[in-house]
Amino acid sequence: VLVNKQEPLKLELSTFLDCAARGREFPVSPAQALLNMEICEDVARCFST
């Protein structure tokens, strides 16, 4: 099993800064990010009941 040894939030922030500096789009759209959060909330609700 391959495991990414980079801290996820640090990698995300680094990617964001790189995109901003180079005028590129962030690889995750706001709609995708919102959907991911909704899925995480649904999973969390399953564990709290």
14 contacts 27 by C-beta, under 8 angstroms:
no
Domain boundaries, the chain: 8-48
Give just the sign of the alpha carbon dihedral 39, 45, 9, 34.
positive
Q: pLDDT 10s per residue in the chain (49 long)?
A: 787 788 988 999 999 999 999 999 999 999 999 999 999 999 999 998 7
Distance CA 11, CA 21 (A): 15
Report if pTM > 0.95.
no
